[in-house]
Amino acid sequence: MKIEIPHQHTKEEAQDRIKNLLQNLKEKYADKINNVQENWLEDTGTFSLAMGPFSTSGSIAVKENLVEIDLTIPFIAGLYKNQIRSLIEAQAKEVLA
């Protein structure tokens, strides 16, 4: 699933905001997610995590005026694809506002 969120910050500011969002989400949902991995190389981050029996992974690319999120979700979670997209978009748009 690919999600694009526009922003009006410098790449560095947008990246800092996304990193803070990821940290806040890890803390907020610490009881629901585990095996969280996050790695950044310049303006591209990769991540993976598990929620119960399901695992997901993806990447985040911070570009000029745009953040691109590419998320792989398990087949069974495909039933909730629209809700997952809406949640990610809402959280990202809030921190990039």
pLDDT at 5: 95
Contact present, 17 and 97 (Cβ < 8 Å) = no
Can you list the domains of the chain with their CATH numbers? Answer: 2-96 (3.30.310)
Mind listing the pLDDT tens digit of every residue in the chain (97 residues)? Answer: 999 999 999 999 999 999 998 888 888 888 888 888 899 999 999 999 888 788 889 999 999 999 999 999 888 777 888 888 898 899 999 999 9
Contact present, 72 and 58 (Cβ < 8 Å) = yes
d(CA 69, CA 73): 12
